[in-house]
């Protein structure tokens, strides 16, 4: 079952009511997954508890708050969780799979969960992306799914204020004059249709299922953008191969400590995530320089962290370096794909004129890639002098030219 539509169209509540009725009547096991487990708890779990209360069938003794699991007396189970860590999705068979807001979720997560599902799969989403595995791998299977499209107009329970807020994005003359009109937002979240954002910064990109061998790449390493509570920590594997740029998501997660907590080693940390991903400690990780303490802590943990050298115009300069090349995004890097489709230039809402600065949204993974590009892709003459350059200058003056390791790797790649 595929439910596509606008915001506030009632998709989540309709699915929950259907599942509650099904699991109450028959012994079934259902897993509800969203990319981020915390977001799942704040949204879907909260709605589930509300509906069960309204239906007067909530039993607190059936709820396991630690496992986020509700088990009916006759044995049916409804479990909630995150899907971002694919390694944790292995387990016993389930009868019903529900992926909520599937635009945020990876194809690898879908593959792991769908092969464990015996009866029914449910996918719901606002069509915020134009390229996605749901469109390319699921909805191309003619006759194998049922489809339902809804908008906020199909939901009779919305308040006038909620309707007014959604309709404020419609590009009418009144909304344009008020500065609230947003054609893309209206198309996706008002009409529930797929639409390409105007003013997108990175247009020349595609998705790939192959990855170049490191030894054949002209440049190779990682970019790192620190975050914690609201913003995720993002680590992106970056490669320059055959003059194209290749990006693969390694870490994209909120609530990460930088290094392990000695007294609580089970606390999630960036250090643990890098180890689990098999990141080579010898490779350079070009990191956000605004977090010098975090860079130092990660260096003490053994990683080759290099703070990015910024200039007053480094944001636009880094963007320009990325825009010069075709970008290939690894198929499973869902968050990179979301950002690259939604990262846009800012716009004067009153005049409609595009501004030369990007919006400060959908830019965590792409900022990580930008830090890497600033160090690895800018012309040699624009790079700040470092030890390797100083040695090259001295040896050239002495009449001997010694190739630095980076130069050797470039020659090997060619």
In tens, the pLDDT along 345-362 reads 998 877 778 898 999 999
> How much is the pLDDT for 309?
83
Q: Is the dihedral angle over the CA atoms 3, 96, 108, 282 positive or is it negative?
A: positive
CA dihedral sign of residues 99, 103, 107, 108: negative
pLDDT value, residue 350: 75
For residue 127 the two structure tokens come to: 């069509």
CATH topology of domain 2-154: Rossmann fold (3.40.50)
Helix or strand holding residue 139 (H, E): none
pLDDT of residue 87: 84
Those residues of the chain that have pLDDT short of 70 are 379-414
Distance (Å, whole) CA 81 – CA 111: 16
Instruction: Quickly count helices (H) and strands (E) in the chain.
Output: 15, 17
CATH number listed for the domain at residues 205-383: 3.30.420.280
Of 43, 23, 24, nearest to 33 (Cα)?
Answer: 43
Query: pLDDT tens for residues 257-300?
Result: 999 998 888 899 999 999 999 999 999 999 999 899 999 999 99
CA distances from 75 to 32, 61, 97, 156, 167 (A): 17, 13, 17, 34, 44
Q: Which run of H or E residues covers position 248?
A: strand 244-253
What pLDDT, on the 0 to 100 scale, is given for residue 380?
57
Q: What separation, in Å, do the N-terminal and C-terminal C-alpha atoms of the chain show?
A: 49
Sequence spans of domains, the chain: 2-154, 205-383, 388-414
């Amino acid at each position: 079952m595929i439910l596509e539509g606008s915001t506030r169209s009632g998709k989540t509540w309709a699915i929950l009511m259907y599942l509650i009725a099904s699991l109450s009547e028959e012994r079934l096991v259902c897993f509800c997954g969203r990319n981020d487990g915390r977001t799942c708890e704040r949204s879907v779990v909260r709605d589930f508890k509300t509906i069960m209360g309204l239906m007067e069938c909530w039993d607190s003794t059936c709820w396991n708050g630690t496992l986020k699991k509700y088990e009916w007396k006759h044995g049916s189970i409804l479990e909630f969780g995150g899907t971002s860590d694919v390694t944790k999705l292995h387990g016993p068979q389930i009868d019903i799979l529900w992926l909520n807001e599937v635009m945020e979720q990876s194809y690898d997560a879908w593959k792991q969960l769908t092969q464990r599902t015996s009866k029914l799969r449910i996918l719901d989403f606002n069509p915020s992306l134009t390229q996605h595995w749901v469109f390319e791998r699921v909805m191309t299977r003619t006759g194998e799914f049922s489809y339902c499209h809804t908008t906020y107009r199909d939901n009779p329970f919305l308040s006038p204020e909620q309707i007014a807020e959604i309709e404020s994005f419609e590009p009418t003359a009144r909304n344009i004059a008020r500065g609230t009109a947003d054609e893309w937002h209206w198309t996706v979240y008002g009409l529930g249709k797929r639409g390409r954002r105007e003013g997108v910064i990175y247009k020349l990109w595609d998705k790939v299922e192959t990855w170049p061998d490191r030894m054949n790449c002209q440049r190779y390493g990682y970019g790192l953008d620190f975050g914690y509570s609201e913003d995720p920590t993002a680590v992106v594997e970056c490669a320059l191969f055959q003059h194209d740029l290749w990006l693969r998501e390694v870490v994209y997660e909120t609530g990460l400590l930088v290094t392990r907590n000695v007294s609580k080693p089970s606390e999630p940390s960036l250090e643990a995530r890098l180890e689990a991903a098999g990141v080579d400690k010898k490779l350079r990780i070009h990191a956000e320089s605004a977090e010098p303490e975090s860079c130092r802590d990660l260096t003490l943990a053994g990683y080759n962290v290099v703070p990015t050298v910024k200039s007053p115009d480094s944001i636009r300069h880094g963007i320009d370096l990325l825009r010069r090349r075709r970008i290939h995004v690894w198929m499973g890097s869902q968050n990179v794909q979301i950002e690259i489709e939604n990262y846009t230039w800012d716009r004067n809402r009153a005049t409609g004129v595009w501004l030369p600065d990007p919006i400060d949204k959908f830019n965590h993974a792409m900022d990580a890639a930008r830090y890497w590009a600033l160090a690895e892709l800018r012309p040699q003459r624009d790079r700040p002098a470092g030890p390797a350059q100083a040695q090259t200058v001295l040896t050239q003056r002495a009449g001997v030219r010694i190739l630095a390791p980076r130069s050797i790797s470039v020659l090997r790649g060619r």
